Chains A and B, each alone.
Chain A
Amino acid sequence: MAFQPRSIAQLSEAAVTVDLDKCIAHKGCTVCIDVCPMDILDIDPQTGKAFMKRDECWYCLPCQKDCPTGAIHVAIPYLLR
C-alpha cells in the first residue's frame, strides 16, 4: 500500500465568543455573520447559535457593535494579546 496523504487540524483558542443565553440566532438573527468582513462566523448546528468558525479574525468589531443583544464578544487573538 502507498503512503496515505492526510491533514491534521491545529487548535486555536476562539477569540470571538458568544453568550448562548443572549444570542437570538434561533429567531433568525444573522447580523454578526452578515457583517463580518472575514466571513468567519456561522451558526453552530449543535446549539443553533452564532459561533466563531475560523481563526481569521481582524479584531475589527463590527460583529460586536452591530449585535442587537450584546451576545458576542471579541478578544484580541492570543498571539497578539
Chain B
Amino acid sequence: MPHRADTLESEYDVVVVGGGTAGPMAAIKAKERNPALRVLLLDKAHVKRSGAISMGMDGLNNAVVPGYATPEQYTKEITIANDGIVNQATVYAYARHSFTTIEELDRWGVKFEKDANGDYAMRKVHHMGTYVLPMPEGHDVKKVLYRQLKRARVEITNRIIATRLLTAADGSVNGVMGFDSRTAAFHVIRAKAVVLACGAAGRLGLPASGYLMGTYENPTNAGDGYVMAYHAGAELANLECYQINPLIKDYNGPACAYVAGPMGGYTANNRGERFIECDYWSGQMMLEFYQELQGGNGPVFLKLNHLAEETIQTIETILHSNERPSRGQFHAGRGTDYRRQMVEMHISEIGFCSGHSASGVYVNERAETSVPGLYAAGDMAAVPHNYMLGAFTYGWFAGHSAAERASSLDFSAVDAEQVARERARIYAPLLRDHGLPALQVEYKLRRFVNDYLQPPKVTRKYEIALDRFAEIGEDLEHLHAADAHELMRCAEASVIRDCAEMAARASLFRTESRWGLYHLRVDYPERNDAEWFCHAHLKKDESGRMSHFKRPVEPYIVPIAEQEKDAYDRLRVAPKTSPEKTAATV
C-alpha cells in the first residue's frame, strides 16, 4: 500500500475526471475518435455506481425527437425559460444531436418506453413543447455504460479525488492532481487534454433536515469541478442563477411531477388546488411555489389521490424502483399512501447545476472551456437545462474535442512548484495532531449558506456572508484528518467554501432580479434588460482575486417573437373563485 509520502506519477493522452454520466460518454467517444490514445477515467467513487444516475433514471427530461419537436422549437423553449440569457449555439448543438444520442444509448441497451409501433412514447411536461421520454426500466444505465467502457478499453481508476488541475507555462491545462481516498497516496497525472465531468455543486446549502448528506444531488458532487476550473483560470457563467428544486420534504428527493404529471398528478396547494399550469422546473415555477407559501396557502403538495388505482400502481412502480428507490420506504415510514394523502413538498436548499438550471463553467458548442486543453460537460458546464441527455451529449462533444487536441500535441512540462504547493495544501490536515473536524466545519459553512444566501437575496446579508466565508477560510487552516477518508472531506470543505464565495459574489454583481426565485434580489426587484441582458462571468484574475465582467448574449440562431418572450412568466393558474367567495366558504 503506498504511503502518503508517495507521489504516483502517470501519463495519459486524455484524462476524464468524473465517471458519472457525461464522463463515461466522454471517455468512450475520445477513444472512438482516436483508438490509439490512452484515455483515463477517474472517479472519486466507483464508476459502476457513481453520480446522479447511480441507480438509474426515470426518464429523459429533454429529448428532442423528430415528429414531436424540432431543434429550433427546443432552443426557443429553453431560451424563454431562461429569460433570454443563453448561448443558443450550445443549446441548439445539443438539440440537433439529442436524437443521435438517444439512438446510441438505445443500441447500447438502455431501455426507453415505446408504443405499440415501436416508436418512442413521448410525453408533454414543458410549458410549450413535448420533450419527456419515460424510462420505466431505467435502472440499468450504469451497467450499460460500464460495459461500453470496457469494450472501448478505457482505463478506469476509482477512489481518486481530483483536487487541482496542472497548468503549463502558456496557461493551458496539462494535468490533474488528486489523492486516493483510501490510502492518501498523491497522484500527479500528466495529460494533453482534460475533461471535467464532476457533476453539480450539490453540497452548497444545508438541507432543512440538518442532515449533511440528505441532499438532492449525489453528495459526492461537492462542487469540485467548478473549483478546479476556477483555479485553473477558467470563466464561470451566471452562477447567480442558482439551482433550487421543489422536493419531497425531508426526503429531499424529486417529487417527480415529470413522471406523475402526464398521468394526471400535479403540484397543489393546501386546498388540493393546482396553482401552476406547468410543473416543469424553472425559476418562475419556483417563484410561484415560494409565493404560494408566503400567501399562507402552503405547504405545497404533490397530489395523486384523485387518480385511479391502476395509475397509482404504475406511478409507484416507477418512483419506488428507479432513480431514488428508497422513496417507498420513506413514505411508508410516514404513513403516506398516494391513494389517500398528498405528498408534502418544500423548497430545497441552493446549489449550482446547469442540468436543472443554467449556471456553471463556461463552455462553447464543442465543450471547450475558456482555457486551452480543458473541456467540461454535464451538470457543471453552463448549458442550460441540460439534464441527463445533455450530459451524455456534451460528454460526447467533449470526448471528441479532447481527442482531437491530444492527437496533435506533445506532453508539456509539469511545473514542480504547483505539485509541491498542492501536496502541502492537501496533506496539512493529516500532519496536524489535532484540529477541527471537516464535517463540523462543513455543517457551519452550509448553515451560513442557508442563513445568508437562500433567496430572496438581500444585499446586506450577502455582504455579511462574505465575512463569514472568509472566517471559514481561516478555519480550513486548522482542519484535522485522522485518515484518508477524512482528508477527502477536508478537501471537499474547501471546495464548498469556494463555491459559497462564488455564489455570493456572482449574486452581488448582477444588480437586477432575473430567473424567478433563482436570482430574486430584494434591493433590485425588477428585471433590467437595458443593463443586464448579458451573461455575467467570473474568473480568477492574475492577482488571484475573483473578478466579474459582462459578456454579451451571443446572436440568436432561433429568433424569439416579442409576444413569446414572457411565456414562462404566465405560469400561474387563473383563480377560479373570487377571493370573497373563498372567504365565505372557508
Instruction: Identify the A interface with B (CB < 8 A).
Output: 5-7, 34-39, 54, 56-62, 65-66, 74-77, 79-81
B45 x A37 contact (CB < 8 A): yes
Distance of A54 Cα from B437 Cα, bound (Å) = 13
Chain A to chain B contacts (Cβ below 8 Å), 27 pairs: A7-B434, A34-B46, A35-B49, A37-B45, A37-B46, A37-B49, A39-B182, A54-B485, A56-B212, A56-B213, A57-B213, A58-B213, A58-B214, A60-B55, A60-B218, A61-B55, A61-B325, A62-B54, A62-B55, A65-B55, A66-B49, A75-B329, A79-B210, A80-B211, A80-B214, A80-B251, A81-B333
B215 and chain A: residue at smallest CB distance:
A58
Distance of A78 Cα from B45 Cα, bound (Å) = 24
Among B213, B252, B329, B434, find the residue whose CB has the most chain A CB atoms closer than 10 A.
Answer: B213
A6 x B54 contact (CB < 8 A): no
A60-B55, A61-B55, A62-B55 known; A37 vs B434 contact (CB < 8 Å) = no
Contacts of B49 in A (CB 8 A): 35-37, 62, 66
Contacts of A75 in B (CB 8 A): 329
Give the tally of cross-chain contacts (CB within 8 A): 82
Contacts of B210 in A (CB 8 A): 79
For the complex, count residues of B whose C-beta is within 8 A of A: 37
Asked if B298 is at the interface (CB within 8 A of a chain A CB), the reply is no
Contacts of A6 in B (CB 8 A): 434
SS of B interface (majority): loop
Distance of A74 Cα from B330 Cα, bound (Å) = 11
Instruction: Identify the B interface with A (CB < 8 A).
Output: 45-46, 48-51, 54-55, 159, 181-182, 209-215, 218-220, 250-252, 324-326, 329-330, 333, 434-435, 437, 439, 480, 485, 488
B329 x A80 contact (CB < 8 A): no
A39 x B214 contact (CB < 8 A): no
B489 and chain A: residue at smallest CB distance:
A56
| A60-B326, A75-B329, A76-B333 known, 5 other contacts, Cβ within 8 Å | A37-B54, A58-B213, A76-B251, A79-B211, A80-B214
Distance of A76 Cα from B159 Cα, bound (Å) = 25
Contacts of A65 in B (CB 8 A): 55, 325
Contacts of A54 in B (CB 8 A): 485
B220 x A80 contact (CB < 8 A): no
B232 to chain A, nearest CB (A): 25
A79 x B214 contact (CB < 8 A): yes
A39-B159, A58-B218, A80-B250 known; A7 vs B326 contact (CB < 8 Å) = no
Contacts of B213 in A (CB 8 A): 38, 56-58, 77
Distance of A7 Cα from B437 Cα, bound (Å) = 8
A37 x B326 contact (CB < 8 A): no
A53 and chain B: residue at smallest CB distance:
B485
Contacts of A57 in B (CB 8 A): 213
A74 to chain B, nearest CB (A): 7
Q: Which of B48, B209, B220, B480 contacts A34 (CB 8 A)?
A: B48
B239 to chain A, nearest CB (A): 24
Contacts of B181 in A (CB 8 A): 39
B485 x A39 contact (CB < 8 A): yes
Distance of A65 Cα from B89 Cα, bound (Å) = 41
A76 to chain B, nearest CB (A): 5
B218 x A76 contact (CB < 8 A): no
A38 x B45 contact (CB < 8 A): yes
